[in-house]
Structures are given as structure tokens and as C-alpha cells.
Structure 1
Amino acid sequence: MHSIARRNQCLQEESKMKVEMKVKSIKGHCAAGYQVGERVIYSEPNITSCEGSPLCLYALSSFIPYLTALGRETEGKDWINQLRALQCPDPANTVVFSLQRN
């Protein structure tokens, strides 16, 4: 997708209830090419990489149960409201994503 179109899509996604996953740290080498600071936006039913990196199937498949829970309105005491970060399942090349729910 062209970078301007991707940026516009990210802006559209930001107007919905969303979860922003931002690369916080990388241990080793990320095979998907993520860099610290890159953002991935989840706004049901879409997942968009804002900086143009490929979406990592392994990381996203492990995040889906959490993203669907974060993407809905919950009571303040719900356990999902305590979640602040997720990491990809690669033990040798771990990428940690911070989470922000809007």
C-alpha cells in the first residue's frame, strides 16, 4: 500500500475505538523488520501497520485474544485493563509492544 494511503488509513483507524501497539524494545533481530517506535493499529476488524513494515503473523496470532478483549468497552476492574505490553513469541529475537487503548 502506498505510504500516503497507509497514513490516511491510520488516521481513519484512529477515529474508531482502537488499540495502538508500539514497538517498545527489540532483543536480537526482528525477522519482520520492526523498528523501535513503529506502530500497529488494531481497530476491529482491521490491523494496520502505520510505518509500512510487514505484519508479523506470529506476533499477531499470539496477540489476537488480547486485542479483541482490549477492543471492547470493559468495566474498570476487568483484568484486561491492567495489560500494558505484549511480546512476540520468538524467544531469541523478542519484540515487546507497548499497548495504548483509546
Structure 2
Amino acid sequence: MDDPLSDEISGDMEIYDLRVTVDRIEGRSVCGMRTGDHFDLTESAHLSLPDGKHFCVYALASVLPFLAAKQRDLAAGDWLAQDSLFACPDPEERLIMRVSRTRRRRMNSADLT
């Protein structure tokens, strides 16, 4: 059966493309983001936003340290394999983001730094 997250490109390593989506805002949105706003992280380090959209740099900073790990296979018992929600540090906003794997991609490690 075909894996919808797979890509048939040749390479020596596999990583996942990710989508980081605003799952909910439990306070007031001081940065102007709304539920459903998102960015995509593809090909290891390519960050893209939908045209005309923005993503709060402070929300991005809070999830950024976890993205490299979420791009890779993790042990079943690893907490990061089980958790996909991350919070923006703004206490008034309480913005919660969900990190989802969108596609499994084969890449050549020699092409990355």
C-alpha cells in the first residue's frame, strides 16, 4: 500500500516535511494570528507562508527548537513522538500550535550543511 507521506526521490536519508498550525488561541490574539494560520517547513529548512499571511516571530521562536527532531523518526516512547502541541510564550495570548507531518521525503545528506 502506498504511504501518503512518502516520496520516491532517491537519497540516503529520510525526513518529514512539517506544517505548524495555530490550533487554538485561549486568550486574546495580540499578534493578529487566527486559528488555522500556518507555515510549512519543507526540504529540511525551507520555511514558507501562504501569500499575504504572517506568523508571529515569538510563536515561531517557541516551536523552532523542536522542528528538527519532529522532522526525523523518533522512538515510540519518546515524549516528542507523542506530543505535537506547543505554546507561544505570550501569557495573555495563550496561542497553541500543532506540528503535523505532511510528507516523508528522501534527501541526500551531502546536499545539506
- What TM-score do you get using the length of structure 2 for normalisation? 0.65
Contact kept, 8 Å, 1:30 with 1:94, in 2: the verdict is no
TM-score, length basis structure 1? 0.71
| Equivalent residue runs for 1:1-102 within 5 Å | 17-26=16-25, 27-31=27-31, 33-43=32-42, 44-50=44-50, 52-102=52-102
**Do the aligned residues in 1 keep the contact of 2:62 with 2:86 (CA within 8 Å)?**
no
2:85 aligned partner, one-letter code: A
Q: Give RMSD over aligned pairs.
A: 2.0
Unaligned runs of 5+ in 1: 1-14
Superposition misfits of 4+ residues, deviation over 6 angstroms: none
How far 1:51 sits from its partner (Å)?
A: 5.5
Q: Which has the larger radius of gyration?
A: 2
Q: Percent identity at matched positions?
A: 25
Paired letter, 1:93: E
**Residues 37 and 55 in structure 2, CA contact (< 8 A), matched pair in contact too:** no
Change (3 A) 1:38 1:51: farther
Q: Which amino acid aligns with 2:41?
A: Y
The one of the two structures with greater contact order (alpha-carbon pairs below 8 A, sep at least 6) is 2
Q: Mind listing any 5+ residue stretches in structure 2 that lack a counterpart?
A: 1-6, 8-14, 103-113
- Which structure has more strand as a fraction of its residues? 2
Between the aligned partners of 1:95 and 1:52, the Cα distance in structure 2 is 20
Query: Size of the alignment, in residue pairs?
Result: 87
Structure that is richer in helix per residue: 1
- Distance apart, 1:85 and its partner CA: 0.7
